C-alpha cells in the first residue's frame, strides 16, 4: 500500500498546471524528466486511459491513488 502523502507529492509534481488532473501531455513530460524520452503522447494517452476510471481521458488524484493501491 502506498503512502498517501508521498502519492500526493508525486501527483502534484506531474500535474504541471495544478488543476488537479493529469493530462497525457503532463504525464509525457514527467516521464521525460525522469529520463524516459521514448514515450510519445499517444503512449502517454494509453497509460492515462488504462488508469482513467470515469472515462474523461484525464487522471484525477483518486484515480492515481486507486492505481497505486492495486
The domains found in the chain, sorted by start residue, are 4-68 (1.10.238.10)
* Nearest CA among 70, 24, 26, 68 for reference residue 49: 24
Kindly report the average pLDDT of the chain as a whole number: 93
**Contact criterion met (CB below 8 Å) for 42 and 53:** no
Residue 3 has what pLDDT?
Answer: 93
Q: How does pLDDT run across 34-61, given as a tens digit for each residue?
A: 998 889 999 999 999 999 999 999 999 9
Amino acid at each position: 500500500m502506498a503512502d498517501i502523502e508521498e502519492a500526493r507529492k508525486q501527483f502534484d509534481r506531474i500535474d504541471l498546471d495544478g488543476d488537479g488532473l493529469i493530462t497525457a501531455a503532463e504525464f509525457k513530460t514527467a516521464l521525460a524528466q525522469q529520463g524516459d524520452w521514448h514515450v510519445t503522447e499517444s503512449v502517454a494517452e494509453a497509460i492515462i486511459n488504462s488508469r482513467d476510471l470515469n472515462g474523461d481521458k484525464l487522471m484525477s488524484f483518486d484515480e492515481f491513488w486507486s492505481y497505486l493501491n492495486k
